[in-house]
Amino acid sequence: MASRQPIIFILLLIIIVITLSKAHAGDQKPKELTIIWHSGDLSEYLIEISKQYTKQTGVKINVELVPWDKWHDTIASEFDSKGSRFDLVVFDSQSMSEFASEGNFVLLNPYIEKSKKVKFTDYDPEALREYAEYPEGSGKLYALPLNQDAMGLVYRKDLLEDPEEKKAFKVKYGYELTVPETYEQLKDIAEFFNRPVKNLYGIALYGSRDYDAVTTAFNNVLWSFGGELWDPRTRRAEGFINSSASVAALEYFKELFKYAPPGATGWYYDEVNNAINNGRVAMGINWYYFFNANSNPKISKYADKLGFAPLPGEKGPDGKFRQYNSLGGQGISISKFSKHVDEAWRFLEWFVSNENQWEWVKGGGQTGRVDILRSPSYANATPYNSVFPVSMSRVKDYWHLVEYPQLLDIYQKYVNLAITGAMSPKEALDNVAKEQQAVLDKAS
């Protein structure tokens, strides 16, 4: 029996060596990571940038592109099933509370603390607060900023700077035609250039009930007029979203559609972009995300004729001038259900490096890295980068609550009913306040 032990021992060693060799060989095979984001220019550009990561590491990066109107629900459905269909998740800022509260994301603090490539101080604190932190003020980061965004103004320079147009405008309105600083001026300009017989209209803006379209456009006006969505301290919607300032804002917002192309109360980003790129409107209110396409001569016929500016402001009932705009943009998180969490983090480390974020900026992305944002070269990277930080300094956002989807559905419905004339602005906002308050009270 003793004489057979060396043979058995050798056989065991052979089995162990073969097993380890197979395991090691398996580690060397290229892995795949899947990112989910909505379809669009930047998501396509993310695919291009990620090809360099594949060349360097052998790890293939798949980006699953989902239509905007199915994007949130696709993510939510996968999380509900605790599925591992995607490893990295790109989502809108206002969805952080909903997704993080359910334990769907990997906490990134330990990874950042150990990293030799990423530091907390690499980022603008506001960018981390808006796109990465949950709960607010906790310092717990479940994402890194992928693409900051805000709403801004795009306008036809050839129209607003034309001497004859400027002369005619001053005769009619009594002041100089220039980029609007107040919403009253914006309405005058929209009215002045509204010339349907020439297929020219004053303004393009969102009116659709799709996703968060009409309310992101309206929120710019709401906050600048002195209205509020709610009081987060008391969790009260009633008396805030239907205040006199909020009603005045919606009455104004409804008026703007008089100077928009027919059907604009159902418009979203495609329609607004097409109107801008084809020179059909004098101005447009849109996300900076789309300004990249507006300024691209391969896409826009009027690229060389467009200017970009922060949105105007207005005096509220209290006489105070306010100038706010909607926060947009996305963070990128690692799914808690990913089978490749460490590899996903390595990709994030690579992507958020200074070198790769400069590539991101050159392609139209908006980084959260302070070393880039403070660089003189940043302002010249695109035709709108010089004004983008101004808009980002004035942002406000929706409710950062788990109940966000319910609150948004109510809000979208009634604001759209108001701008289409199916309901008065006051009646619409009274309904919003009542129904949202019921949701907030139930959640308390």
pLDDT at 388 over 80: yes
Rounded to 10°, the helix 41-57/341-351 angle is 110
**CA distances (Å), origin 439, targets 235, 236, 403, 433, 434:** 10, 11, 8, 10, 9
| 68-72, 233-237, 416-420, range with the lowest pLDDT | 68-72
Residue 126, class by beta-carbon neighbours within 10 Å (0-12 exposed, 13-18 middle, 19+ buried)? middle
Q: What is the pLDDT of residues 192-246, one digit of tens each?
A: 999 999 999 999 999 999 999 999 999 999 999 999 999 999 999 999 999 999 9
Structural domains in the chain plus CATH codes = 26-149+328-396 (3.40.190.10), 151-326+399-443 (3.40.190.10)
How far apart are alpha carbons 383 and 297 in whole angstroms?
12
- pLDDT given at position 21: 43
Considering Cα of 202, then 419, then 71, then 334, what sign does the dihedral take?
positive
Q: How confident is the model at residue 346 (pLDDT cuts 50, 70, 90)?
A: very high
Start-to-end Cα distance in the chain:
74
- pLDDT given at position 324: 97
- pLDDT given at position 68: 87
- pLDDT given at position 6: 54
Q: CA torsion, points 212, 218, 219, 221, in degrees to nearest 10?
A: 170
Q: What is the pLDDT of residues 307-337, one digit of tens each?
A: 999 999 999 989 999 999 999 999 999 999 9
SS3 13: helix
Q: By percentage, how much of the chain surpasses pLDDT 90?
A: 90
Q: How confident is the model at residue 69 (pLDDT cuts 50, 70, 90)?
A: confident
Predicted TM-score (pTM) of the model is 0.90
Tokens 């005045």 belong to residue: 248
How far apart are alpha carbons 362 and 217 in whole angstroms?
27
**CA distances (Å), origin 416, targets 184, 309, 435:** 22, 26, 16
